[in-house]
Amino acid sequence: MISIELLLLVSAVMLFAGIYGFLTRKSTLAILLSIELMLNSADINFAVFNRMVYPNGHEGVFFAIFAIAIAAAESAIAIAIMINIYRQLKSISADKLTKMKW
**Shortest Å distance, C-beta 89 to another protein:** 13
User: 21 vs 60, which CB is nearer to another protein?
Assistant: 21
Q: CA 23 to CA 83: how far, in whole Å?
A: 21
Indicate which single residue of 1, 6, 23, 77 sits in contact with another protein (rule: CB under 8 A): 23
Pair 8, 45: CB distance under 8 Å: yes
**According to the binding rule CB under 8 A, does residue 97 interact with another protein?**
yes
| Other beta carbons less than 10 A from residue 38's beta carbon | 19
Q: CA 92 to CA 81: how far, in whole Å?
A: 10
**Shortest Å distance, C-beta 12 to another protein:** 14
**According to the binding rule CB under 8 A, does residue 94 interact with another protein?**
yes
Binding-site size for another protein (CB under 8 A) equals 13
Write out the binding residues for another protein, residues 25-44 only, by CB under 8 A. 31
| Other beta carbons less than 10 A from residue 60's beta carbon | 19
